[in-house]
């Protein structure tokens, strides 16, 4: 028992306001995490903690921990009216103590459950909640937050995202588990990402999870930042430092499903409380998890409050919603007879659709400028279109089609690419149907898929050239950018969450060249409005030539509202193309502003001597043309002066 055990008496009733109960019942209590859970409380017997938990079908609920020998009879909670909430107050209970709820079901069986609203938890393999506080951090990012709020949604911004799994980015020693803390990451990750020129860091899920191998996608504590890397205040410090260095922070969030472990949300009071009772609606067959009951007000409120919690209490700039497709379809990954049609006989999950729409409306109302990002892999229409037009209301959608087609194309030997050029050009048929992010995420470089550079054909030089060409094409293509850690320097082995990145590679010139290329691409992306200002509309893009299949060459323009433009040329073969004619409208000198074959990046330095003069012609209906030298397996970009 803890030293405080002698001063803690059985819990006393704590009043919860009628308005709190009403809003919770309506599913609209945005600060629910300040009512339910464990919070400091100065009661009639002195300071302690008040507890409140929703368990409407329980026979009894109590607080247990080291402080009372885990005795389920020692510190009972009391029902609050007919709300389904149990509450109480423990004088003498201190910050940092471990606790759980002992929930007695109707059958008389008592199980120990973690607090769904716990603000902190013990380090794995333990799963107990840890009493904590919300307001012990002084922020220093007011300028960033004010600017974000005033600007609104970043649809026309130059956004390039560095995706990070903090448990394997870098270690203190070579031993697994010697993770960098949140504060270590503030000192190392932030300057690294800023130096490369990225605008945002996206963290894979940081909510507490007991299994490292789940990467955070099987969340155990939705309101508790994982203790692997420090305290909640340490995470706030990391976000604060990001903002002070001009970096936004995006957090992966998992509202679609949760693990079945008997200590967390599943069958919380002996019934399907947070999930559907019927496994055809309440269980995910692929992941062995429960699915939230999106039609229940209290469950919707739990998720609404959780999303707002990360945005409000941790100043997160955006949430990337995992596995949206699994939420939208009742028959997702199910055979006939394994799912229940909706009330109209269809396969659309109406409750989940309404939840996502309402979620996006609530977030955008409360936090103008915060981005909601959907990882949605189907052709569902209007994912990133406003709710009032019939869309789901997300800010951005991951372009999974672009990712799959482009990776498949680059994996082909250049001699065969001429037969598959449509894999590159097809994406432009739908490029502006949504507000897209082009993702090269962790999912593409793990579980037997190999590393990004490992997908490239040819000898080592050609593989590095193909990597530089792939990244160039990605940055030139309309859409925001997302790159997983390690891809920026061409890590050879596929990502393993139990190994740190191969940082030794960054000592070699070819890998340093890949990093220098990423710096150049990010600088170009920010500096030229043509690269981002009209990312989501046809006015920002124009094909120059997509028909030269035989040479595996494509050319297009990126254009800005002010009339400025950048001409991009891609040679997807190792053959140097000399005096290659490319049409243009603007006479005069076109300056070469980018060449992925530069020796600075590890290339052969084949190029155009800094630029070329446009020549008059009727070539292809263009009034002028540029006689270009196209380097091997390379991209070159020009702008008129």
Q: Which residues are catalytic?
A: 322, 375
Helix axes 232-244, 182-196, angle to 10 degrees: 20
User: What phi, psi does 48 have (nearest 5°)?
Assistant: -170, -145
Q: Retrieve residue 11's tokens.
A: 């819990």
Question: Which residues does 350 contact at the CB level (< 8 Å), separation at least 6?
Answer: 342, 343, 344
Q: How far is residue 266's CA from residue 273's CA, in Å, rounded to a whole number?
A: 8
Number of other CB atoms surrounding residue 3 within 10 Å = 9
Q: Which residue has the tokens 């955070």?
A: 216
Question: Which residues does 603 contact at the CB level (< 8 Å), separation at least 6?
Answer: 465, 468, 513, 595, 596, 597, 631, 634
Q: Which of 412, 407, 406, 417 is nearest to 548 (CA)?
A: 417
Is residue 435 within 8 Å of residue 395, measured between CB atoms? yes
List, as one string, the DSSP characters of 230-269: --HHHHHHHHHHHHHTT-EEEEEE--SEEE--TTSSTTTT
> Exposure string (b/e) for 258-290, b if CB count within 10 Å is 16 or more?
bbbeeebbbbbbbebbbbbeeeebbbbeebebb
User: What phi, psi does 84 have (nearest 5°)?
Assistant: 85, 0
Q: What angle do CA 524, 158, 369 make, to 5 degrees?
A: 165
Is residue 201 within 8 Å of residue 250, measured between CB atoms? yes
List, as one string, the DSSP characters of 179-231: BPPHHHHHHHHHHHHHHHT-SEEEESP-EE-S-GGGTT-S-SEEEEE-GGG--
Question: Which residues does 110 contact at the CB level (< 8 Å), separation at least 6?
Answer: 60, 72, 102, 103, 104
Question: Which residues does 535 contact at the CB level (< 8 Å), separation at least 6?
Answer: 155, 156, 435, 478, 479, 480
Q: Which residue has the tokens 């263009």?
A: 622
Q: Retrieve residue 81's tokens.
A: 């009216």
**Helix (H) and strand (E) counts in the chain:** 13, 30
DSSP code of 325? H
Q: Which of 607, 627, 608 is nearest to 617 (CA)?
A: 627
> Exposure string (b/e) for 576-599, b if CB count within 10 Å is 16 or more?
bbeebebbbebeeebebbbbbbbe
Helix axes 509-527, 460-476, angle to 10 degrees: 10
Q: How far is residue 389's CA from residue 384's CA, in Å, rounded to a whole number?
A: 11
Is residue 57 within 8 Å of residue 270, measured between CB atoms? yes
Dihedral in degrees, nearest 10, Cα atoms 476, 478, 484, 490: -20
Q: Report in angstroms the alpha-carbon separations of 596 from 52, 508, 514, 592.
A: 59, 18, 9, 11
3-state percent breakdown (helix, strand, coil) of the chain, nearest 5? 30, 25, 45
Q: Which of 431, 403, 409 is nearest to 421 (CA)?
A: 409
């Amino acid at each position: 028992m803890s030293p405080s055990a002698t001063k803690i008496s059985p819990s006393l009733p704590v009043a919860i306001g009628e308005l709190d109960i009403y809003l919770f019942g309506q599913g609209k209590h945005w600060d629910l995490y300040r009512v339910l859970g464990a919070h400091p409380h100065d009661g009639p017997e002195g300071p302690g903690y008040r507890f409140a938990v929703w368990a409407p079908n329980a026979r009894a609920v109590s607080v247990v921990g080291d402080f009372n020998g885990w005795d389920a009879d020692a510190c009972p909670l009391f029902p609050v009216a007919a709300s389904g909430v149990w509450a109480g107050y423990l004088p003498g209970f201190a910050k940092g103590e471990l606790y759980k709820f002992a929930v007695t079901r109707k059958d008389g069986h008592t199980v120990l459950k973690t607090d769904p609203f716990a603000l902190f938890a013990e380090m794995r393999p333990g799963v107990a909640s840890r009493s904590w506080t919300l307001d012990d951090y002084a922020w220093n990012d007011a300028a960033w937050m004010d600017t974000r709020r005033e600007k609104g949604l970043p649809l026309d911004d130059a956004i390039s995202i560095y995706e990070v799994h903090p448990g394997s980015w870098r270690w203190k020693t070579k031993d697994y588990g010697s993770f960098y803390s949140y504060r270590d990451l503030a000192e190392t990750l932030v300057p690294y990402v800023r130096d490369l020129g990225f605008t945002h860091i996206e963290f894979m899920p940081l909510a507490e999870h007991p299994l490292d191998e789940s990467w955070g996608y099987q969340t155990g504590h939705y309101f508790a930042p994982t203790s692997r890397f420090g305290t909640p205040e340490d995470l706030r410090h990391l976000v604060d430092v990001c903002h002070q260095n001009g970096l936004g922070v995006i957090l992966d969030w998992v509202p679609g499903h949760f693990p079945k472990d008997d200590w967390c949300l599943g069958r919380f009071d002996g019934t399907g409380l947070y999930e559907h009772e019927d496994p055809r609606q309440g269980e995910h067959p692929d992941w062995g998890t429960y699915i939230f009951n999106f039609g229940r007000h209290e469950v919707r409120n739990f998720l609404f409050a959780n999303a707002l919690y990360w945005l409000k209490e941790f100043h997160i700039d955006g949430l990337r919603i995992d596995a949206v497709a699994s939420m939208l379809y009742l028959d997702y990954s199910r055979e006939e007879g394994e799912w229940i049609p909706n009330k109209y006989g269809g396969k659309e999950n109406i409750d989940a659709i309404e939840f996502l729409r309402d979620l996006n409306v609530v977030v955008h109302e409360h936090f103008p400028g915060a981005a909601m990002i959907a990882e949605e892999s189907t052709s569902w229409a209007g994912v990133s279109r406003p709710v009032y037009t019939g869309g789901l209301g997300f800010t951005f959608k991951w372009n999974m089609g672009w990712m799959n087609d482009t990776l498949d194309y680059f994996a082909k030997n250049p001699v065969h690419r001429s037969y598959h050029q449509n894999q590159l050009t097809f994406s432009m048929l739908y490029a502006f149907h949504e507000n897209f992010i082009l993702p090269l995420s962790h999912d593409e470089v793990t579980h037997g898929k190999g590393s990004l550079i490992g997908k490239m054909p040819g000898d080592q030089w050609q593989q590095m050239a193909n990597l530089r060409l792939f990244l160039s094409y990605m940055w030139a293509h309309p859409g925001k950018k997302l790159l997983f850690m390690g891809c920026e320097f061409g890590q050879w082995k596929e990502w393993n969450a139990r190994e740190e990145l191969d940082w030794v590679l960054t000592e070699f010139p070819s890998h340093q060249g890949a990093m220098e290329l990423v710096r150049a691409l990010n600088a170009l992306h920010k500096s030229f409005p043509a690269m981002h200002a009209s990312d989501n509309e046809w006015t920002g893009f124009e094909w120059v030539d997509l028909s030269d299949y035989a040479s595996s060459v494509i050319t297009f323009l990126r254009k800005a509202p002010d009339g400025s433009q950048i001409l991009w040329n891609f040679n997807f073969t190792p053959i140097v193309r000399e005096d290659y004619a490319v049409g243009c409208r603007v006479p005069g000198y076109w300056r070469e502003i980018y060449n992925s074959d530069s020796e600075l990046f590890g290339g052969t330095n084949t190029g155009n001597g800094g630029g070329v003069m446009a020549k008059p012609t009727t070539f292809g209906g263009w009034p002028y043309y540029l006689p270009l030298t196209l380097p091997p397996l390379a991209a070159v970009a020009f702008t008129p002066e």
